[in-house]
Structure 1
Amino acid sequence: MLTKEDFKKIKKEAKLEIAVLEQEYHDIGQKLDSSQSDQRKNRRYASLVIELCSIMEQMLNQLYQNVYQKSFNSTELMKIPAYRARSNMEMIQAELTKQQITLKSGKENMAHALSQVFQARNRLIHENFTFASIVKEDMKEEQTFEAMLDTIKRYRKHLKYLRPE
């Protein structure tokens, strides 16, 4: 069973990993100057997005495993009609919500924002690993990555465990 202390520990581990990744992002700007190709920078941003989503997936999977005492199995959950059209992240969020692990009141839109980050990650993977394929209109690569990073950080921050001990 998940305790509030376990919950806080799992969230803190994710926060620390996100901070390391954020520092790597800032280092890209310092290490890659204009003489290096945009292609290299593009690949670095793409790999950071993949890792950023992996950190979030790992956090949610750890929470799921602690709550249910078993590994997350999307194939099994897809047998539930309401889950058939949902992504793995949407399924795991729904399952965690059943156990009082949810976003703060008024922050429910963060679940949709997280879903958009994961959709962008999937598009990135399927579009030949090119970050340019997910850069938002009227934004630069840096702005797009920073928006994704901010979404992940805010989602993690606003995730709460409401079950009393």
Structure 2
Amino acid sequence: MGRKEKVKKLKDHAFANLRLIEIEYKQIVKKTSQEPDSYNWGELLNDAELKGLYKVRKDRKYASLTVELYAIIEQLLKDIYHTFYDNAYGQTPDVNIILDLEDKLSHRVSFENNTKLLADLRCIIIHEDFSLKKARKSENINMNNRNLFKQLLKDAETYIKNIEVKS
């Protein structure tokens, strides 16, 4: 199997992972909508406690899914690197892995989309507070979690689609 075919197979695998995250995202939206739940949580928690629990968990879940988007792209690039160099990627200390891999692969692979926002959000989520809401505020993003994640998912898909092996 040639390198172009290997990269296509790796991209297809990354797309499959994106679809799973998209399904989970849609379940979060559906399960946290205003529809009443069939189970009577009021017996265990009062309304204020329940609302707080849902709010905290929902934000953390969006943060988790954002980190997973980053991880899918990072792993894809590591796998592409391995395809061309037949050895594992060695991380450069204090360097964004995706940006470093793009640089190391740039003479063999083209990248058309920027992952800076995703990388910045992931960094804030991991190293500060595990909260997409707080990461949004830190980056001055005037979008709610739902719309931001939807955009990040679309950006990740576009990024993967635009990866092309140079001739």
Q: TM-score of the superposition, structure 1-length normalised?
A: 0.81
For residue 116 of structure 1, report the CA deviation from its aligned partner: 2.0
Distance 1:69 1:2 in 2: 13
Distance 2:123 2:24 in 1: 22
Distance 2:8 2:146 in 1: 30
1:157 aligns with 2:161: yes
8 Å CA contact 2:110–2:166 kept in 1: the answer is yes
Structure 1 stretches of 4+ with a deviation exceeding 3 A read 33-36
1:40 aligns with 2:48: no
- Structure 2 regions of 5+ residues with no counterpart? 35-49
Aligned residue for 1:128, secondary structure, equals: coil
Q: Structure 1 residues 118, 137: CA separation in 2 closer, same or farther (over 3 Å shift)?
A: closer
8 Å CA contact 2:121–2:132 kept in 1: the answer is no
8 Å CA contact 1:2–1:66 kept in 2: the answer is no
Residue equivalent to 1:122: 123
Distance 1:137 1:95 in 2: 30
- Structure 1 regions of 5+ residues with no counterpart? 79-84
Structure whose alpha-carbon radius of gyration is higher:
2
8 Å CA contact 1:65–1:71 kept in 2: the answer is yes
Distance 1:88 1:125 in 2: 14
Q: Structure 1 residues 137, 4: CA separation in 2 closer, same or farther (over 3 Å shift)?
A: closer
Aligned residue for 1:132, secondary structure, equals: helix
For 2:145, give the aligned amino acid.
E
Q: Structure 1 residues 87, 2: CA separation in 2 closer, same or farther (over 3 Å shift)?
A: farther
For residue 2 of structure 1, report the CA deviation from its aligned partner: 5.5
For residue 128 of structure 1, report the CA deviation from its aligned partner: 1.9
2:99 to 90, 107, 112: 90
Residue equivalent to 2:6: 6
For residue 48 of structure 1, report the CA deviation from its aligned partner: 0.4
Q: TM-score of the superposition, structure 2-length normalised?
A: 0.80
Identity between Structure 1 and Structure 2 (%): 27
8 Å CA contact 2:69–2:153 kept in 1: the answer is yes
1:51 aligns with 2:68: yes
Question: Which stretch shows the higher mean deviation, 64-73 or 32-41?
Answer: 32-41
Distance 1:117 1:92 in 2: 15
Report the count of equivalent residues: 147
2:146 to 138, 142, 163: 142
